[in-house]
Amino acid sequence: MNERDLLSSELSSRLAGTLADPAASAPPQPLREAVESAMRRYFEHLDGSQATDLYAMVMAEVEAPLLACVLEHTDGNQTRAADVLGLNRGTLRKKLKIYGLIEGDAP
């Protein structure tokens, strides 16, 4: 498993624990703790290998689903999504294109 797959898998499993499950006996894990836990496990699994481009990898793993969820929440209304995220609408559109969440050429 390469670094990106390892990080993606670890973040996914940790972030899944942040979602409230009414049937679960334990309270959901706060997002910050989930990310910290995922990063610690990621470093443990490197087995001495050097991590590179970690910031970009983490941001890509978190930002794409964040944008997708907010866009879904706003029924695809990019102006409302930009407001929810605290972004300029142009910045949001650029990010949506980068992650392939809307049609158009990535910048």
The ranges assigned to domains in the chain are 1-52, 54-107
Give pLDDT tens digits for 51-102. 899 999 999 899 999 999 999 999 999 999 999 999 999 999 999 999 999 9
Residue 38's nearest CA partner among 57, 63, 65, 64 is: 57
Give pLDDT tens digits for 53-66. 999 999 989 999 99
Per-residue tokens: 3: 């670094």
Query: CA 37 to CA 29: how far, in whole Å?
Result: 10
Looking at this protein, which amino acid is placed at residue 48? G
Query: CA 104 to CA 34: how far, in whole Å?
Result: 33
Q: What angle do CA 84, 88, 90 make, to 5 degrees?
A: 120
* CATH number for domain 54-107, candidates 3.40.50.720, 1.10.10.60, 1.10.150.240, 2.40.160.10: 1.10.10.60
